[in-house]
């Protein structure tokens, strides 16, 4: 393998421990690293990043204390949400989410649990229409009106 910076050949692989860039506090143990003798560039080979992220998520949602800012950001990125989406779906102001992520404000118990629930149930992003969530916030709390057909597996009856 050649250096991606200067093109010289890289040194032999070595096992190193690498702090995970996506989540401070997570140390990746036994990562293969190669160093370029010419320019000092180090290249890391992180195997199975998807599995790694899933493992971190599984452990994060079981964390006994409130989520830290970097953890909130990690989980929302796992969900594929923007910070605006996150604010809307948790019923918060975007500025509040920014303060959580910056670590200047502790996330409340309720949004912390709600965020974990979204992650645990792993609902695809598409099933949460952002505009629909905005409607929820504006709604005055009228009872839902449904017509469900018994002979069609309780499918909604088209209006």
Which residues of the chain form contacts with Zn ion (CB under 5 A)?
3, 5-6, 8, 36, 38-39, 41
Pairing type for strands 148-149 and 42-45 reads unpaired
Pairwise CA distance, residues 40 & 8, whole Å: 10
* C-beta closer to Zn ion: residue 32 or 113: 32
Minimum CB separation of residue 10 from Zn ion in Å reads 8
4 vs 148, beta carbon nearer Zn ion: 4
Query: In the complex with Zn ion, which residue's Cβ is closer, 39 or 149?
Result: 39
For residue 3, the minimal CB distance to Zn ion (Å) is 3
**Residue 33 CB, nearest approach to Zn ion (Å):** 14
Closest CB 1 distance from Zn ion, rounded Å: 11
* Residue 18 β-bridge partners: 28
What are the helix (H) ranges across the chain? Answer: 49-60, 69-79, 83-90, 94-102, 109-121, 130-138
Are 24 and 69 contacting, i.e. CB atoms less than 8 angstroms apart? no
């Amino acid at each position: 393998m050649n250096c991606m910076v200067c093109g010289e050949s890289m040194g032999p692989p070595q096992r190193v421990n690498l702090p995970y860039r996506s989540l401070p506090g997570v140390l990746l143990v036994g990562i293969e690293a190669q160093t370029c003798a010419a320019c000092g560039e180090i290249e890391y080979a992180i195997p199975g990043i998807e599995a790694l992220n899933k493992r971190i998520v599984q452990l994060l949602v079981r964390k006994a204390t409130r989520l830290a800012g970097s953890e909130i950001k990690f989980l929302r990125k796992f969900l594929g949400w923007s910070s605006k989406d996150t604010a809307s779906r948790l019923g918060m102001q975007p500025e509040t989410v920014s303060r959580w992520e910056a670590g200047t404000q502790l996330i409340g118990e309720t949004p912390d649990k709600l965020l974990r629930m979204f992650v645990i149930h792993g609902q695809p992003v598409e099933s949460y229409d952002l505009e629909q969530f905005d409607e929820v916030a504006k709604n005055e709390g009228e009872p839902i009106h449904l017509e469900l057909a018994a002979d069609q597996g309780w499918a909604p009856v088209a209006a």
